[in-house]
């Protein structure tokens, strides 16, 4: 038994050891993710693009990724026939 | 409450759609027991093209046309050139929100005189096409569609009251081909062509000549004879060169000699305006007067070099030239 595991046994009375295959998320990472989520939510649709429900606001079902419209796309080369 | 199945009667497939599911076109879904057109106002393509690219050769030649499409299609042609958008789920593609009024306003703002619902299947994203045509008409802009024409008679005729022109693609004059390679049928397409003629909208017909599949002489002869008989000898017919796409990558491009044979068959059947598409620089790209043979619209590829039509007539012999040649805006 490793020193750390021995310490856990002494403290809790139960043999414990760190399990493998666990991904730790630091507080800093969590803070960053929360910041991104809030920022993305506050940005106007025209700047960031949004997932939009195809039925009605708040409805279940598929959602379409809506990207901002740019004038340049009207004249950009494109592959579509017809 | 028990889930409610709805039936879509827009096209001959009459899909019975369960709660939360989509019809064969992927566009029309049962959401909460209601049939919803989920791509309404969601354009996956929006481009300004030359009108010749649709193809329209007798419809405001040289004009630019604001062309849009949504995801999905009610047919599944194995040689589809736009399969990345026509055979995709709407939720798997990025779209721009262009509701009908915004689209019509965009055409006005960009000074584009025409709008086309094209690339995929405007009859499948029917409500978007219809409302776009109405919004555009209010602003003095005609709308055209480029379609396979596979829909039921009633909605087709209702749409033709709102639009100005159509290019309908006849896949082959062979119902078995439609069923095997396109997941459609011939008869509804022929009905759509007749409806377009009766509605008085401008009509052109295209046909993709696939080597070994739709290049048989008797099939081309039947198609040409039917167009001559039912739609008239002045109906422009475009034979399009096949280029390997989607699930027909095992086939070669159509030899130009095959297309030239198709051209001769159609001319022999009495059609006066026959063109070859996707063969850049071919002599058939230009329009010749059906009476005297003089070149009246000179084209190279999609570029119109000169339009010599004067007041809808040939400057050489004075014969009327079928089409719409006036100023659009």
Question: What's the confidence (pLDDT) of residue B329?
Answer: 57
Strand B237-241, strand B274-277: pairing = parallel
pLDDT tens digit sequence for B152-190: 999 999 999 999 999 999 999 999 999 999 999 999 999
pLDDT higher than 60, residue B269 = yes
Contact: B54, A78; criterion CB under 8 Å? no
Question: What's the confidence (pLDDT) of residue A24?
Answer: 61
Question: What's the confidence (pLDDT) of residue B306?
Answer: 95
Q: How confident is the model at residue A42 (pLDDT cuts 50, 70, 90)?
A: low
Where do the H-state alpha helices sit in chain B? 83-86, 100-109, 126-138, 153-160, 175-177, 186-199, 217-226, 256-268
pLDDT higher than 50, residue A45 = no
Residues of A in contact with B47 (CB under 8 A): 73-76, 78, 80
By CA distance, what is A68's nearest residue in B?
Answer: B96
Weakest-pLDDT range from A4-13, B52-61, B123-132, B236-245: A4-13
B70/A6 Cα distance (integer angstroms) = 64
pLDDT higher than 90, residue B134 = yes
pLDDT higher than 80, residue A58 = no
Question: What's the confidence (pLDDT) of residue A5?
Answer: 43
By CA distance, what is B52's nearest residue in A?
Answer: A82
Helix (H/G/I), strand (E/B), else coil: B219: helix
Contact: A54, B39; criterion CB under 8 Å? yes
B99/A66 Cα distance (integer angstroms) = 12
Residues of B in contact with A75 (CB under 8 A): 47-48
Question: What's the confidence (pLDDT) of residue A50?
Answer: 72
A65 interfacial to chain B (CB closer than 8 Å):
yes
Q: How many CB atoms neighbour CB B3 within 10 A? A: 11
Across B228-234, average pLDDT: 98
Question: What's the confidence (pLDDT) of residue A44?
Answer: 45
pLDDT higher than 80, residue B327 = no
Weakest-pLDDT range from A11-15, B79-83, B134-138: A11-15
Contact: B119, A54; criterion CB under 8 Å? no
* DSSP secondary structure, chain A, as one string: --HHHHHHHHHHSS-----SS-----HHHHHHHHHHHHHHHHS-HHHH-EEEESSSTT--S-EEEE----THHHHS------
pLDDT higher than 50, residue A46 = no
By CA distance, what is B243's nearest residue in A?
Answer: A81
B217/B44 Cα distance (integer angstroms) = 38
pLDDT over 90 percentage in chain B: 96
Tokens 């990207």 -> residue: A67
Residues of B in contact with A67 (CB under 8 A): 94-96
Mutate to test the interface with A, among B96, B111, B125 (most CBs of A within 10 A): B96
pLDDT higher than 90, residue B85 = yes
Across A65-69, average pLDDT: 92
By CA distance, what is B146's nearest residue in A?
Answer: A82
pLDDT higher than 80, residue B255 = yes
B102/A82 Cα distance (integer angstroms) = 22
Query: Highest-confidence range of A13-27, A31-45, A52-66, by mean pLDDT?
Result: A52-66
Contact: B96, A62; criterion CB under 8 Å? no
| Structure ipTM | 0.88
B32 interfacial to chain A (CB closer than 8 Å):
yes
Non-local (6+) Cβ contacts of A67 within 8 A are A49, B94, B95, B96
- Higher-confidence residue of B311 and A43: namely B311
DSSP B178: I
A48 interfacial to chain B (CB closer than 8 Å):
no
Question: What's the confidence (pLDDT) of residue A9?
Answer: 45
Across B128-147, average pLDDT: 98
Helix (H/G/I), strand (E/B), else coil: B128: helix
Contact: A82, B85; criterion CB under 8 Å? no
Strand B202-209, strand B237-241: pairing = parallel
pLDDT tens digit sequence for B29-69: 998 899 999 999 999 999 999 999 999 999 999 999 999 99
Residues of A in contact with B96 (CB under 8 A): 66-69, 73
Q: Which of B54, B90, B93 sits opposite A54 (nearest CB)?
A: B90
Non-local (6+) Cβ contacts of B281 within 8 A are B300, B301
pLDDT higher than 90, residue A13 = no
Weakest-pLDDT range from A41-55, B169-183, B235-249, B273-287: A41-55
Contact: B42, A66; criterion CB under 8 Å? yes
């Amino acid at each position: 038994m490793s020193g750390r595991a021995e310490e856990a046994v002494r403290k809790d009375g139960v043999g414990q050891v760190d399990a493998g295959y666990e991904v730790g998320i630091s507080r800093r990472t969590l803070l960053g993710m929360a910041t991104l989520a809030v920022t993305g939510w506050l940005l106007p649709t025209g700047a960031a693009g949004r997932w939009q429900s195809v039925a009605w606001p708040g409805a279940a079902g598929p959602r379409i990724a809506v990207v901002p419209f740019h004038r340049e796309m009207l004249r950009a080369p494109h592959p579509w026939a017809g | 409450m028990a889930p409610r199945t709805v039936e879509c009667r827009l096209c001959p497939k009459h899909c019975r759609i369960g709660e939360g599911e989509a019809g064969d076109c992927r566009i029309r879904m049962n959401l909460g027991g209601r049939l919803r057109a989920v791509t309404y106002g969601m354009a996956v393509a929006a481009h300004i093209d030359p009108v010749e690219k649709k193809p329209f050769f007798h419809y405001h030649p040289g004009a630019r046309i604001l062309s849009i499409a949504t995801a999905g299609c009610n047919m599944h042609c194995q040689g589809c050139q736009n399969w990345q958008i026509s055979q995709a789920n709407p939720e798997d593609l990025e779209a721009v929100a262009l509701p009908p009024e915004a689209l019509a306003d965009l055409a006005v703002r960009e000074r584009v005189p025409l709008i086309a619902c094209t690339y995929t299947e405007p009859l499948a994203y029917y409500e978007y096409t219809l409302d776009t045509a109405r919004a555009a008409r209010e602003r003095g802009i005609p709308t055209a569609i480029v379609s396979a024409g596979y829909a039921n008679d009633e909605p087709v005729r209702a749409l033709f009251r709102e639009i100005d022109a159509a290019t309908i693609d006849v896949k082959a004059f062979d119902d078995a081909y439609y069923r095997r390679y396109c997941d459609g049928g011939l008869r509804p397409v022929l009905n759509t062509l007749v409806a377009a003629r009766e509605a008085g909208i401008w009509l052109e017909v295209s046909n993709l000549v696939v080597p070994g599949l739709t290049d048989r002489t008797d099939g081309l002869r039947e198609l040409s004879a039917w167009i001559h008989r039912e739609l008239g000898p002045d109906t422009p017919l475009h034979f399009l060169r096949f280029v390997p796409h989607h699930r027909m990558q095992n086939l070669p491009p159509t030899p130009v000699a095959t297309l030239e044979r198709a051209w001769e068959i159609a001319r022999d059947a009495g059609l006066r305006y026959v063109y070859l598409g996707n063969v850049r620089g071919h002599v058939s790209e230009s329009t010749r007067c059906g009476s005297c043979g003089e070149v009246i619209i000179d084209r190279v590829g999609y570029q119109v070099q000169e339009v010599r039509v004067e007041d809808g007539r040939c400057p050489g012999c004075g014969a009327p030239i079928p089409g719409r040649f006036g100023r659009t805006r």
